[in-house]
Each structure stands twice: as structure tokens, then as C-alpha cells.
Amino acid sequence: MRVEDLVYFCAPARLIVGAGTRAQLPDLLAHLGYRTGVLVTDTFFTGHTPWVSEYVAAASAAGIETLVYDGGMADPTTVLCDTATAALRAQLCGKTPDHVIALGGGSNIDLAKALCLTLPGGLPIRDFAGAKPAHACPLPLVALPTTSGTGSEATPGAILVDPDSATKIAVMDNALRPRIALIDPEFTYTCPPRVTADAGIDALTHALESFITIDSLAYPRHGNPDPAYSGRSALTMLFAREAIRLCARYLERAYRDGGDIEARTGMSYASLYAALSYGSAGLNAVHGIAYAVAGVTHRSHGSTNAVMLPYVLDALKQERHAELAEVARLFGIEDADEAQAVARLPPAIRALVERLGIPGDLAAFGIPENALPALAADALAVTRLAGAFPVADVPARYAAIVQRAWHGQLDATATAPGNRQAA
Ligand SMILES: NC(=O)c1ccc[n+]([C@@H]2O[C@H](COP(=O)([O-])OP(=O)(O)OC[C@H]3O[C@@H](n4cnc5c(N)ncnc54)[C@H](O)[C@@H]3O)[C@@H](O)[C@H]2O)c1
């Protein structure tokens, strides 16, 4: 509890978690009155797993008709969404489905979220960029995440690449939060190490970034009576803390041994808890700068977050000292001198990033030094994230962060072995 908090907490209406829980879904949907659905996935799931055909058969036995769309792709574009909308509407012959199911990682869940908006009227998804128009009523979404993870199964947003500008656009509204999020850790057992690492560091970033973001009292809600994000509170920090603890314990284990069921389950919970934190608290500089890094490098969402994470933590050592001391303890950094423990955290996180096979600085990540001013400017243009960075002079901090991230510079006072280059 924090006396000053102004909590505005939003989550999926139903959360179902556990190995094998996917088998419950057809009966639940029938019980809730759903009869015609669209299942959005990609060809990995139709071609290499039994999950789609098993679901469609069981749903049919429960009286639910399901049209499968397996054209999902990593980092879906607005063009993909519009093409899928047209193809599905043609197959549906004028009928509107009463629910949409997403099976896959954040990419398929985001595409399905966007389709919840476009399927009823056939409008291009760009018409919904930013806040959804008040009259638009999205179809109910059921999210079945297969990575741990983006947490898109608990958030209000869909992120799509706009091929015209090469940047990502967000479609954002609390009405886009899934009605049902079903987290069956067995879905993640087939994730290859690269996907496990990238999605896992994304979950850790969500937890850390929302743990140290702007407070709920200070969050700029701009008079919105139903804000999608509203700053951190004791409630969101509860979930963030546990997500960080689970990531510290299980992320590397799941990466090294995909058959480690305890680690896979731990990361399923970590991803969900991180989403229950950032899905209301919101994010800031790591994601803001990572979007700009992705615009230049086109590398995975998780890896672009990973390369920025140590440098943003390093930049917040003054403003979020107590929180970072707590995070350091969760990562097993014990130091009688608390300032030293805090200083050792960013190098330790960077060492983890590198052990997960991700470069530890922007130069190694493929960003040319002369691109840094534009990178900082592009990041600042994502005002919903820049405005939540809890520092006084955000432009100056962003500029310093990208410089230090390019040179691989972390605080000179840290004596941890992971700090290879002191500032
Ligand atoms: N809406 C949100 O709140 C939100 C938050 C974070 C990220 N995102 C978005 O999520 C996307 C990244 O999602 P992601 O990291 O989950 O990866 P992804 O969905 O892009 O999937 C990456 C690859 O892994 C494969 N894959 C997924 N699950 C698998 C499994 N169980 N077994 C084998 N292969 C599997 C996919 O088929 C795909 O080829 C980005 O586009 C990002 O912008 C959205």
C-alpha cells in the first residue's frame, strides 16, 4: 500500500493458467455462448503441432464452428492485417464471428487483436491507430500465448509495423484486452532457444521497466476516464517484483534447457505477472528507444529491448535507488554497501543479456554512431513512453543513454566482473 497511489488496474476478465488447461477451452467457450470463431495463428502451429486440429475438432464437438487463419508472421504489418481482414471477410460470406482466438507469440496475438477491430466493418487498421474510436466495438478475444513472453494476452495494445514509415504503430484501448487469457505452459515447450531468450528478456524488461516507471499519481492521464496505462502503484509493483524474481531464477535455465519444465512454467508465470504489472503501469525509455533501434536494425523486439535495458537501469540509479537495490537482491547481488549493489546491477543484467546471445551495446548491435541523434529523436517522438520516464530532462537523458549504450559505458563505480568498460 502507498498512500499516494491512484490505482487504475485492468486485466483480462478470465485468467486460466496451468499445464494442459487448453483442453478446457471448448467447453468454456460453449458455456459462455460463443458459436462462431476465427482462430489466428501461423504455419508453425498448423504444420508442426496438433494444437490447432485438436482445438477445432473439440470446439466443433462442443457446437462451435472455427475458421482457421494461419497467415500470421513475426512482427505483423498493417498490410498483413488488411490482407487478412479481406481474406477472412470473404470466407465468412458476410457473417461476423462472435469471437477471435489467438494462438502464438506476441505477433499472432497482436494481429488477432487488430482483427477484432477490423473484421466487423472491414476498415483498414490504420483507421484505429492511437486510441480506438469510441463507436468501435472490438470482437471478444481469447489469447493463448506460446512464448514467455510479451504478455500481450493481458495488455490493451496491438503493435503493428507500418511499412510506409518502417515504424511501429500502436492500437490501444482497454476494450482490446482479451476476455480470456489461457496460459498453458506446455505451449512454450517447443520454443527454440532464440525465441526463448528474446521473449524471456522482453518479459524481464516489462517487469523491470514497470517497477521503476512513473508513479500513478504523476502519470499524465490527459483527462482520459479509461486510461490504458496509468503509472505504477503498489499493486502493479507486487506483480513486477515476483516477475523479476522468477526471471532471475528461470530465464537462463529455460534458454539453456528447453526441456526444463519447472523453468518453462516459471517463465510462463513471470511473463504473465510482468504483463499484469506493465499492462496497467505502462513502460518508458527501454521500449521507447528499442522501437527506434528496431526501425534501424529490424531485429527482434526482445533483443532490441535487451540491448537498451542495462543502460536505462544505469541512468535511473539516482531516481530509483531503493527499487534498484531491491532488484539487485532479487538477482543475488549481495553487497553491504547498497550503492555498490545498485551500481553492480546494470553490468550484471548486461552480462545476462550477453549470455543469452544478444549483443551488449548498440555498436555491436549494428547501429552506426552517426545514427544516434536520429535514434534519440525517434524515441522521443513516442511521447506516451517518453512522458512516463521518471526524470526531469527526458531529451537530455535519452541522448546520454544512447551514447553510453553505443560505447558500452556503465557506471565507473561498479566493481562487478560484468562491467567491462567504465565511464
Ligand atoms: N501488444 C503487446 O502488448 C506487445 C508487447 C510486447 C511485444 N509485442 C509484440 O510481440 C512481438 C514479439 O512476440 P514474441 O516474442 O512472442 O515472438 P513472435 O510472436 O514474433 O514469434 C517469433 C517466432 O517464434 C515462433 N514461435 C512462437 N511460439 C513458438 C513455440 N511455442 N514453438 C515454436 N516456435 C514458436 C513463431 O512462429 C515465430 O516464428 C513483436 O511484434 C512485438 O511488437 C506486443
Domains, in order of start, for the chain: 14-188 (3.40.50.1970), 193-407 (1.20.1090.10)
Residues contacting residue 135 through CB under 8 Å, at least 6 positions apart = none
User: What are the tens digits of pLDDT across the range 148-163?
Assistant: 999 999 999 999 998 8
Give the residue whose CA is nearest to atom 33 of ligand 1. 191
- Average pLDDT value over all residues in the chain: 95
Q: Across residues 248-277, what is the average pLDDT?
A: 98
Q: Name the residue of 110, 128, 265, 287 to mutate for ligand 1: max ligand atoms within 8 A of Cβ.
A: 110
Residue 209 Cβ inside 6 Å of ligand 1? The answer reads: no
Q: Across residues 121-149, what is the average pLDDT?
A: 90
For residue 420, name the pLDDT band (cuts at 50, 70, 90).
Answer: low
Residue 303 Cβ inside 6 Å of ligand 1? The answer reads: no
Model confidence pTM above 0.85: yes
Give the residue whose CA is nearest to atom 38 of ligand 1. 74
Nearest to 225 by CA among 134, 152, 159, 158: 134
End-to-end CA distance of the chain: 38
pLDDT recorded at residue 165 = 74
pLDDT recorded at residue 211 = 98
Q: Across residues 150-178, what is the average pLDDT?
A: 91
Instruction: Give Cα separations from 361 to 261, 303, 308 (angstroms).
Output: 32, 11, 8
Q: Name the residue of 132, 190, 195 to mutate for ligand 1: max ligand atoms within 8 A of Cβ.
A: 195
Give the residue whose CA is nearest to atom 37 of ligand 1. 44
Residue 146 Cβ inside 6 Å of ligand 1? The answer reads: yes
Give the residue whose CA is nearest to atom 2 of ligand 1. 152
Measured in Å, residue 196 CA sits from the centre of ligand 1 at 10
* pLDDT for 422 beyond 50: no
* pLDDT for 195 beyond 90: yes
